Amino acid sequence: MLNRYARAAVTRILTPVAKLLNRLGISPDVVTILGTIGVCVGALVFFPRGQLLVGVLVITAFVFSDTIDGVMARLLGRTSKWGAFLDSTLDRIGDAAIFSGLAIWFFQGGDDRVMASLAMACLVLGSVVSYARARAEGLGMTASVGIAERADRLVAALVTTGLVGLGLPEVVLKVVLAVLAVASVVTILQRVLFVRQQCIADDAASTPATS
C-alpha cells in the first residue's frame, strides 16, 4: 500500500540527492551496498543492546538508499537486471537483520520470548511474501498484490520500535508484530491465489477448442 502511494513523493524528495551522488561519480551499486551495511549495523549492533531508538535512527538514515539507487540508475539510463537483482537480494538481507536484531534483544536482554518469536515469525513470513512474488515473476506471471508489502511491514515495525525506544509500552510492539505476522500470512495466501488464477487462465488459453 505504502509502496504504491508514497514512492512517487519519496522519489521526488530524493531526486536531488541522487543527482548529487551521480555528479560525484558514485555508482548506484555502491549506494545499494552501503545502504544495506548501514541497515545491518543499525539492526545488529544497536537492537541487541536494547538501544531501539538509536537503531531505528541509524536504519532510517540508510534505508532510503533502496530508493536513491534506483533513481540514480534511471537518471543515468543504466537500469539493468543486475541492479534489480542486487537490490532485491540486499533488501532481503536488510529485512532479515532488522527482525533478527529485535529477536536477539527480546530473547536475551529484553527477556520476552513471545516478542522474540513474533519477530522471527515476521522475518520468515516476510521472506515467503517476497519469494512468492519473485517466483511468480520468474515464471512469467505477477504477484504484486497483498495487504502487507515490504514497505508496509518495515514502516510499521520501525516506527513502533522507535516509539518503544522513546518509552511507549512494549505491548504495543507485540501487538504490531502479531498483526504483521497475520497480515503476512494473508498476503501469502493472496499471492498464491492470484498466481493460481493466472495459471488457470493460461491453461484454459492453451487448451485447444473441441468441436
Does the annotation mark 66 as catalytic?
no
47: Cα separation from own chain's centroid: 18
Write the Ramachandran bin of 27: left for phi over 0, alpha for psi from -120 to 50, otherwise beta.
Answer: beta
Exactly one of 29, 69, 91, 152 is catalytic; name it.
Answer: 91
SS (H, E, C) 29-93: HHHHHHHHHHHHHHHHHHHHHCCHHHHHHHHHHHHCHHHHHHHHHHHHCCCCHHHHHHHHHHHHH
The conformation of residue 27, written as its DSSP 8-state character, comes to -
Kindly tell me the burial class for residue 45, based on how many C-beta atoms sit within 10 Å of its own C-beta (0-12, 13-18, 19 or more). Answer: middle
Show which residues are catalytic: 91
